[in-house]
Amino acid sequence: MLDLTLLGSGGGMPRVNRHLSSMIINYKGRKILIDCGEGTQVAMRKVHSGFKSIDIICITHYHGDHIFGLPGLLATIGNSHRTESITIIGPIGLKEIMEGILVMIPYLPYDLKLIECTKESLGINVSDNILEVTKEKKLNKSNLILSTIELDHSSHCLGYSIYVPRKPKFYPEKAIELGIPKEFWSRLQIGEKIQYENKIYNSDKVLGGRRKGIKLSYITDTRPMDTLLNFIAESDLFVCEGTYGDNLDIEKAIKNKHMTFEEAAELAYKSNVKELLLTHFSPSIEDPNIYKLNAKTIFNNTIIGYDGYRKKLTYN
């Protein structure tokens, strides 16, 4: 249901073998991009992810290693003759940042919809083959639910969580027993009530209980926070910064408002996530795998991220 590719696993400045922070998510052929560090377009071409079908761009914060690739990407999308609007979501200050960026690229053939967030939930639906952000009152009917949380960094910074709800199981034998024709089944499956032969049938007569959906959480850049535990809880995949691999770098982590591998693993363990994917490595780290035991001794199901890492998340 969700296909994701880690485009860039670096933080601070790019390395020859590591692009800066970025991840792309594919949902039903449409795409959500999280962060757009320098080199994101090159990384996208390497993995053949495509760029014309990006409908939503989520920015965690406005440090260069997370946003310097955005002007070039928006221009390239414009050159592809896209005309449908693109939604950009970010923390407070997004409108001011985009005013500056649009000075460089003033002629885009599509509109930009800007949403400044602090802590909120947004619904995302596939409409006319485009991912569109909906109003909060429609969350219960959304294809995706995108939630944000304010993080503890040196500037306004957001963490993101994407949840794919799962429809309750439909029991055709119950519909048959009630004498409801097949032509009404699809409406019952999506929770509607129907009227047939002067009787009203509620969907709960033919549906099972609530089922767990798919949850993806993306957290960078920040210090650990107690409020994160509930935000990332039960994630199928928890993507988290691991700027510092060595536990001896804890003072740097505190000073620069980042995390160590160990701290990210502790969050994963306490929140009962299924997998932890570490990313956003300091440019001083040549090979993050050297420090993987610092995370795996706390949370064994830890993956050391790398540019081009792919993962498919499906219902259990």
Query: Does 140 share its domain with 246?
Result: yes
Residue 315 counted as domain residue: no
Among 185, 204, 223, which residue terminates a domain? 204
Residue 50 counted as domain residue: yes
What is the SS3 assignment for 207?
strand
Q: Is the pLDDT of residue 139 over 70?
A: no
Domain residues for the domain of 199 are 172-204
Q: Percent of the chain, pLDDT > 70?
A: 98
Q: Is the dihedral of CA 92, 237, 56, 220 positive or negative?
A: positive
Asked whether residue 156 is marked as a ligand-binding residue, the answer is: no
Q: Supply the pLDDT for residue 310.
A: 97
pLDDT-based confidence at residue 140 (cuts at 50, 70, 90): low
Asked whether residue 258 is marked as a ligand-binding residue, the answer is: no
Cβ(158)–Cβ(121) below 8 Å = no
Query: Does 195 share its domain with 225?
Result: no
Nearest to 308 by CA among 45, 72, 69: 45
Domain count, the chain: 2
Asked whether residue 66 is marked as a ligand-binding residue, the answer is: yes
Other beta carbons within 10 angstroms of residue 186's beta carbon come to 10
Q: Is the dihedral of CA 231, 237, 241, 242 positive or negative?
A: positive
Query: Does 104 share its domain with 127?
Result: yes
Q: For residue 32, give the H/E element and its range.
A: strand 30-34
Catalytic residue among 35, 55, 65, 249: 65
- Mean per-residue pLDDT of the chain: 93
Copy the structure tokens of residue 202: 């509620």
Q: Supply the pLDDT for residue 142.
A: 75
Query: Does 98 share its domain with 162?
Result: yes
Asked whether residue 204 is marked as a ligand-binding residue, the answer is: no
At 182-239, the pLDDT tens digits run: 888 888 877 788 888 888 888 888 888 778 899 999 999 999 999 999 999 999 999 9
Among 153, 182, 204, which residue terminates a domain? 204
Beta-bridge mates of residue 269: none
Nearest to 295 by CA among 244, 253, 251: 244
Q: Is the pLDDT of residue 62 over 90?
A: yes
Residue 24 counted as domain residue: yes
Query: Does 190 share its domain with 291?
Result: no
Q: What's the mean pLDDT in 23-46? A: 95
Q: What's the mean pLDDT in 144-172? A: 92
Q: Is the pLDDT of residue 135 over 70?
A: no
Cβ(125)–Cβ(135) below 8 Å = no
Q: Percent of the chain, pLDDT > 90?
A: 74
Between helix 40-47 and helix 70-79 the angle, nearest 10°, is 50
- Provide the whole-model pTM: 0.91
Asked whether residue 55 is marked as a ligand-binding residue, the answer is: no
Among 183, 204, 225, which residue terminates a domain? 204
Other beta carbons within 10 angstroms of residue 72's beta carbon come to 17
Query: Does 37 share its domain with 11?
Result: yes
Residue 316 counted as domain residue: no
Query: Does 16 share its domain with 143?
Result: yes
Asked whether residue 3 is marked as a ligand-binding residue, the answer is: no
Reply yes or no on whether 307 is catalytic.
Answer: no
Is the model more confident about 57 or about 126? 57
